[in-house]
A = this chain, B = another copy of it.
């Protein structure tokens, strides 16, 4: 864990209210960390609908393999979510698979439900098998302490290199029924989610079927979790779950306001992740317009967002738009040097293949001192647009990652 708190850390964790249909507990299982919680169990009442997306990394962890299957499994009992920090249980072979099974069985035994439906996630160092007995040893006591409150504690228990706990809440109306959505997440490094983020859990008391939940996740993941990047590295453990207990008892199926609220929760959690990007000193917003398609715009924005030379220039408060041109050009997407224009904040820097005559270096130098930097790149080719959010690349990133395991 880093000693330096992100400059974007909120003053305090928001108040996430208890949600009907969900109880939880955290514990100090001692997986790796000492003197802090590292285990969270969420118990979802019978009937809870679930949707999820997982990492597209070709070498996922045993928990991801298990949880993909668990998503489709059903039973009459409660559904459980078990998350530990300290080890990712990735590339841990048969021992890792055994640990997942043992965890699922232990959890179902203590909290009810079927092992097959237990959602398991582990986050931390790769290549070390989880010692499931450390988790299982806590379950009985945790079962006695299950409570509807505890979202802030949960957000803390799942942190690894995060410098602040991440959570948000929204309410929405479905017909005449007020429903609530709570979300927590963790993530700070190895962040370039691909169809999912590190770990994010969103729970609601709304009554919405699993298929609808899944399609909502698919729709909103692109512009939220898949539009932030810290270091271009895609985790082997990315997991995003959406759980709906149905306890609110809504019957109307007009999800207009719920969609707004869900998007807001997903956007806010993804923002908190990038704003806690390892070593971040400045947040970079890259808006691309005028591309031949939205997908093309997204690829170009990601190319700029992941360029080490762009990220170090921002860290150095250098309005080095030449590196932006380079990163646009290397993306491999349609781009024409002489049709391109680039704004940094309100300033038009470059247009028609050359620096704008009204731009002076002092404008950029002053603007770059801000903590939040926005680049707007217009390609002048079509209607495609995308926005990506990134952290900069600083000495602190190297400090964190050159000795993460030690």
List residues of A whose CB falls within 8 A of some B CB: 56-60, 88, 90-96, 125-127, 129, 189-190, 192, 194, 231-236, 306-309, 312-313, 315-316, 318, 320-323, 325-338, 340, 350, 352-355, 393-395, 397-398, 401-406
Write out the residue numbers on chain B whose beta carbons fall within 8 Å of the beta carbon of A234.
326, 329-330
Query: A318: which of B88, B95, B395, B403 is its contact (CB, 8 Å)?
Result: B403
Write out the residue numbers on chain B whose beta carbons fall within 8 Å of the beta carbon of A126.
320, 322-323, 325-326
A316-B401 contact, Cβ under 8 Å, with A233-B309, A355-B127: yes
Write out the residue numbers on chain B whose beta carbons fall within 8 Å of the beta carbon of A231.
308-309
Write out the residue numbers on chain B whose beta carbons fall within 8 Å of the beta carbon of A393.
308, 398
Whether B309 lies near A189 (C-beta < 8 A) is yes
Q: What distance in Å separates the Cβ of A291 from its nearest Cβ neighbour in chain B?
A: 12
Query: A59: which of B308, B312, B335, B394 is its contact (CB, 8 Å)?
Result: B335
Write out the residue numbers on chain B whose beta carbons fall within 8 Å of the beta carbon of A340.
59
Q: What distance in Å separates the Cβ of A336 from its nearest Cβ neighbour in chain B?
A: 8
Write out the residue numbers on chain B whose beta carbons fall within 8 Å of the beta carbon of A337.
58-60, 91
Whether A312 lies near B397 (C-beta < 8 A) is yes
Whether B92 lies near A58 (C-beta < 8 A) is no
Whether A331 lies near B58 (C-beta < 8 A) is yes
Bound complex: CA A308 to CA B394 (Å):
12
Bound complex: CA A336 to CA B57 (Å):
11
Q: What distance in Å separates the Cβ of A17 from its nearest Cβ neighbour in chain B?
A: 37
Write out the residue numbers on chain B whose beta carbons fall within 8 Å of the beta carbon of A232.
306-308
Write out the residue numbers on chain B whose beta carbons fall within 8 Å of the beta carbon of A334.
58
Bound complex: CA A190 to CA B323 (Å):
9
Write out the residue numbers on chain B whose beta carbons fall within 8 Å of the beta carbon of A323.
126, 233
Whether A398 lies near B404 (C-beta < 8 A) is no
Query: A406: which of B235, B318, B404 is its contact (CB, 8 Å)?
Result: B318
Whether A398 lies near B127 (C-beta < 8 A) is no
Whether A127 lies near B322 (C-beta < 8 A) is yes
Q: Tell me the nearest residue of chain B to A192, going by C-beta.
A: B330
22 pairs across A/B with beta carbons < 8 Å? Answer: A58-B337, A90-B322, A90-B325, A90-B326, A91-B322, A92-B353, A92-B355, A93-B355, A94-B354, A126-B323, A126-B325, A127-B325, A192-B330, A231-B308, A233-B309, A234-B330, A312-B398, A313-B402, A316-B401, A316-B403, A318-B402, A318-B404
Bound complex: CA A305 to CA B124 (Å):
22
Whether B398 lies near A59 (C-beta < 8 A) is no
